[in-house]
Chains A and B, each alone.
Chain A
């Protein structure tokens, strides 16, 4: 019974959180809503990266490329009038999925640093490809593509304010993030997730137990790319502009940082990671006008030293300590309110 209560509590908490998140567009100024929307988009991309890295242990320094691919697919489709904005999103995700599968295949042969470097190559190559004059009629070359912001399809009023374009996009992203999280959680907890965990922890044993490593790893790469591509498509709509310079290697680095800071393998923590990568660079800039990335780099190294498991790892450690303390107490007092497990 305690277990059920605990679960209901967590669900209620999540629902309340979600409801309050929905209300933000009516309470905050538009530029803040815009920033929060970017957090949501980062979170979707980071979930994608997390699925790849946290769960199947493959490192990618190239996920910015998938953001670029998704963003450009959306931008090109909308600007060329091949599809409307909403329809372009699943197409962006699908396209990214396919490219992800293509990368996943050679990636099978690499591990750790080598895979990281190969994906780094992807991250460096894609912006150059986007600048390529041969593709300019569609990609807009160096200039990029400008889109118009999406207006809300229905007029919604709350707290005396009409829903703005920024607000509408925020809600769209929030809904997609919630769906993405739900899907990812189910993937991670189900059979696929367990197989992925097996791969990460002990590849040889996993194979021996019949897990088809190759197809699973490739599939995960594809799904991971799809998530990130979706985030890219959303970013195109939200920022209403794409250009090759928006998708440099630093974007890939940012995503990786977000994943690691949140803590690998934890879907919830991706939100924390997304908040980190959206707001900490601003913080770094306020600390050092001239070299914000230097501060950023130092923060990264320090984080790895003090919190090697990221935020999620830190929370897990706290929980373990609390549990150990709780057990110690219940050992001494037989009638304590001990058992915190649920």
Chain B
């Protein structure tokens, strides 16, 4: 029973990470109708940036904050410079551009920071009051950080003018422009946020998965499964989906398939959702009918 609770709570903690990355995916998708394949790579770069700052002697939370800020700016810039020129291009060309971005960022990470696997510190590992028998200190801390971030995001989108403008830009770009909202800047901002979210997730994941250029590929896959599960156009459904995926991953991994086949589990999950509930558990219709 105890180990079940442990698996469950770790699943929730992991799920929070998948939830956040899923949110980032859905955000960009809602705004631009494109899935950001490079989301994982952007997150990894942010994490590497934090690592470099830490190596240079910066205290953890300062490095954390600075890395997030840099990621936001980078995400913003990437949208303006690389993604925007292809806004009107066919889907396949966009996919190739995203793939090119993925490959470039991945290679740049390796080139700038090296391909060797690195340790990434957790700010919670030494904390005594965080750890308990159901959750490691780091998992608990990570859960708190991610929940805080999700809360901040929720409040931003719900209660601020800029958040409302961004939601409007995603909901109906032309009307948004008629209302005076500069939609293309909103898109770029969305990318900035997605990069920031990814970086935070990366920094929470790195102490466990160890930092290397390919660190986030599994997480991205789970995040996509989560987004699909929650209904790909439903941001908060994606968050719930993330928790479900996290719990399932741990339960299945501990009791059914073993840890080696986790990615296959994700694949089966994705395919099953597509076959039986293509709109996701809470989703609206997005499936292309014909």
Question: Do A and B touch, yes or no (CB under 8 Å, in the complex)?
Answer: yes
Report which A residues bind B (CB closer than 8 A).
Answer: 53, 57, 59, 61, 103, 105-106, 109-114, 116-118, 120-122, 124-125, 128-129, 131-133, 203-204, 206-207, 213, 249-250, 253, 256-257, 260, 264, 290-294, 296-301, 303-305, 308
Which chain A residues border B217 with CB–CB below 8 Å? 124, 249
Chain B CB within 10 Å, residue with most, of A57, A250, A304, A305? A304
Say whether B86 faces chain A, with CB atoms less than 8 Å apart.
yes
Complex CA gap A294/B45 in Å reads 14
CA distance A145 to B99 in the complex (A): 30
CA distance A296 to B102 in the complex (A): 11
Which single member of B99, B260, B288 contacts A111 (CB below 8 Å)?
A: B288
Cα distance, A131 to B263, chains bound together (Å) = 12
Q: Smallest CB–CB gap between A107 and chain B, Å?
A: 8
State how many angstroms separate the Cβ of B255 from the closest Cβ of chain A. 16
Contact A264-B264, Cβ < 8 Å, known A121-B221, A298-B104, A304-B100: no
CB distance from B159 to the nearest CB of A (A): 31
- Asked if B230 is at the interface of the complex by the 8 Å CB criterion, the answer is no
Q: Report the Cα distance A57→B290, complex, angstroms.
A: 13
Q: Is the CB of B274 within 8 A of A118?
A: yes
B91 at the interface (CB under 8 A from A): yes
Chain B, 8-35, contact with A by CB distance < 8 Å: what is the 0/1 string?
0000000000000000000001000111
Asked if B99 and A253 make an inter-chain contact with CB atoms under 8 angstroms apart, the answer reads yes
The answer to whether A131 and B260 have CB atoms under 8 Å apart is yes
Q: A128-B260, A305-B85 are in contact. List 20 more A-B contacts (CB 8 A).
A: A103-B271, A106-B275, A109-B287, A110-B274, A110-B287, A111-B288, A113-B91, A124-B218, A128-B264, A257-B96, A290-B111, A293-B103, A296-B104, A297-B99, A297-B102, A298-B100, A301-B104, A303-B96, A304-B86, A304-B89
- Decide yes or no: A120 and B37 within 8 Å by CB, A294-B111, A296-B107 being known contacts: yes
A153–B278 CA distance with the chains assembled, in angstroms: 52
A-B pairs with lowest CB-CB distance, top 6: A297-B104, A300-B100, A293-B107, A291-B111, A294-B107, A297-B103
B262 at the interface (CB under 8 A from A): yes
With A109-B274, A204-B290, A293-B107 as contacts: A256 and B99 at CB distance below 8 Å: yes
Using a CB–CB cutoff of 8 Å, the interface residues on chain B facing chain A are 29, 33-35, 37, 82, 85-86, 89-97, 99-108, 110-111, 217-218, 221, 224-225, 228, 232, 260-264, 266-267, 270-271, 274-275, 278, 287-288, 290
Partner of B224, one of A57, A117, A133, A294: A117
**Residues in B neighbouring A256, C-beta threshold 8 A:** 95-96, 99
What CA separation (Å) do A117 and B92 show in the bound complex? 12
Chain A residues whose CB sits within 8 angstroms of the CB of B270 once the complex forms: 118, 121
B217 to chain A, nearest CB (A): 6
Question: A125-B267, A300-B100, A305-B86 given as contacts; is B287 within 8 A of A264 (CB)?
Answer: no
Given contacts A109-B278, A124-B218, A301-B101, contact A59 B267 (CB under 8 A): no
Partner of B107, one of A103, A124, A291: A291
Q: Given A106-B275, A256-B99, do A59 and B111 touch, yes or no (CB 8 Å)?
A: no
What B residues does A204 contact at CB under 8 A?
290
What is the CA–CA distance of A291 and B104 in the complex, to the nearest angstrom? 9
Distance from A286 Cβ to chain B, minimum over Cβ atoms (Å): 15
Residues of B within 8 A of A116 (CB): 35, 37, 95
Cβ contact within 8 Å between B34 and A113: yes
Q: Nearest Cβ distance between residue A275 and chain B, in whole angstroms?
A: 18
Contact between A121 and B96, CB atoms less than 8 A apart: no
Contacts of A61 in B (CB 8 A): 37, 95, 99
A136 to chain B, nearest CB (A): 11
B residues less than 8 Å from A203 (CB atoms)? 288, 290
Bound complex: CA of A267 vs CA of B261, how far in Å? 37
Q: Which residues of A contact B287 (CB under 8 A)?
A: 109-110
Contact A301 B97 (CB under 8 A): yes
Query: Judging by beta carbons under 8 Å apart, are B260 and A124 in contact?
Result: no
Q: Which chain B residues lie closer than 8 Å to A305 at the CB level?
A: 85-86
Contacts of A128 in B (CB 8 A): 260-264
Q: Is the CB of B110 within 8 A of A291?
A: yes
- For the complex, give the distance between the alpha carbons of A238 and B266 in Å: 33
Bound CA–CA A109/B232 (angstroms): 13
Can you spell out 21 A-B residue pairs with CB atoms less than 8 angstroms apart?
A61-B99, A105-B275, A109-B278, A114-B228, A116-B35, A116-B37, A118-B270, A121-B267, A124-B263, A128-B264, A133-B260, A256-B99, A291-B111, A296-B100, A297-B103, A297-B104, A300-B96, A300-B97, A300-B99, A301-B97, A304-B93
Chain B residues closer than 8 Å to A131, beta-carbon distance:
260
Q: By the criterion CB–CB under 8 Å, are B107 and A292 in contact?
A: yes
Distance between Cα atoms of A253 and B99 in the complex (Å): 7
Would you give the shortest CB distance from B281 to chain A, in whole angstroms? 15
The answer to whether B92 and A122 touch across the interface, beta carbons within 8 angstroms, is no
Instruction: Give Cα A131–Cα B260 distance, bound, in whole angstroms.
Output: 8
Give Cα A256–Cα B33 distance, bound, in whole angstroms: 21
Residues of chain B with a CB closer than 8 A to A105's CB: 275
- Cα of A166 to Cα of B98 in the assembled complex, Å: 37
A114 close to B260 (CB less than 8 A)? no
Q: Is the CB of B260 within 8 A of A132?
A: yes
